[in-house]
Amino acid sequence: MNGRPRARRLAAAVAACALVSTAAPAFAQVDFSGAWGARLHEDNLERGGGPEMNEFEGLPINAADRMRGDSWSASLWTVPEHQCIPHPADYGPNFSQLVMWSDVDPVTKDVVAWHTELSWMNPVRTIWMDGRPHPPAWAPHTWQGFSTGKWEGDMLTVETTHLKPAYVRRNGLARSEKAAVREHFIRNGDILTIVTIVTDPVYLTEPYIKSRNFQFDPGYRMTPYPCSVDVEIDRPAGEIPHYLPGANPFISEAAAKHKMPLEPARGGAETMYPEYMERMKTLPTATMPAQPAAAGTAAPPASPAAVGTPARTPER
């Protein structure tokens, strides 16, 4: 028998025990400083090009969030107020290079805060390590929220509140501003794993858990990503793209395209678990929707003249 695989297994077991241990002293801190390259091997297709329309599988969404997703039109991203939105703290680690650095108290040498910055849109987070409380309910919400961290052994556990409303998936599935996010930052040599747990009392029936890995990349240099708000699509000001209930023509498209049943594509907590695959085998394959006459029409019926309705875009 070749001893090398056995030694590797033993080393891995020891490392795993070390990671699992939570009885380590509070100052067993790990240094996350530096640049980290995103590794997109988990959920790659969603994180890269992006999810398909009405593809909700694997997410613990409720009926209200399903309706948000069914109503959503990708054209909403062209509305000026949506164009320069960065990914929120709970979505950011899905892709982008990551840079982390710390602020150190000059007297005690304690790390007072950790910061992260992502390459896409350059959002910067602060993770306070000094025990300060979270702000009250009436404080502003931000894309990155308000984060505090504490060490659990070698693992940095971060709690984030005060997030702006955002999304759990980039096809209209909403994540509300009432959500709280817990993260675990785990460094294992040159690999950084960020485990994100989203709890949303409005739109999720269970915590939504995902992990993302990064590899230490000392040669990386953060570059600026300035964003400009412009008129991308010429439409009357104030018109908000969306699908009226029952009018979304693409509900079964993703399932049919991938020869899946429709039910799993509608999402829900049960679609997260491996045992659901047995149920899937019993369900019929979805059928491709008929081509809509006016493909993807999302403009609602003309509304009555609004008081003070502004003019069409070019005159703004």
Nearest distance in Å: CB 54, another protein: 9
How far is 91 from 173, CA to CA, in rounded Å? 12
Binding residues for another protein restricted to 206-245, rule: CB under 8 A: 215, 217, 220, 223, 225-228, 230, 232-235, 237-238, 240-242, 244-245
Question: With respect to another protein, which residue has the nearer C-beta, 14 or 288?
Answer: 288
Q: Which of 18, 20, 84, 191 binds another protein (CB under 8 A)?
A: 84
- Beta-bridged to residue 126, according to DSSP, are 115
Binding residues for another protein restricted to 251-280, rule: CB under 8 A: none
Nearest distance in Å: CB 163, another protein: 12
Q: Residue 289: which region, alpha, beta or left (left: phi > 0; alpha: psi -120 to 50)?
A: beta
Binding residues for another protein restricted to 93-152, rule: CB under 8 A: 94-97, 103, 105-108, 112-113, 115, 119-126, 128, 130-133, 135-144, 146
Question: With respect to another protein, which residue has the nearer C-beta, 182 or 235?
Answer: 235
Closest-CA residue to 203 (of 170, 168, 171): 168
How far is 285 from 259, CA to CA, in rounded Å? 6
**Could you tell me how many residues of this chain bind another protein (CB under 8 A)?**
119
Say if CB 58 and CB 206 are below 8 A apart.
Answer: no
Nearest distance in Å: CB 62, another protein: 8
HEC-encoded secondary structure of 162-194: CECCEEEECCCEEECCCCEEEEEEEEECCEEEE
Nearest distance in Å: CB 189, another protein: 17
Binding residues for another protein restricted to 52-81, rule: CB under 8 A: 52-53, 63-65, 67-68, 71, 73-79, 81
Q: Residue 100: which region, alpha, beta or left (left: phi > 0; alpha: psi -120 to 50)?
A: beta
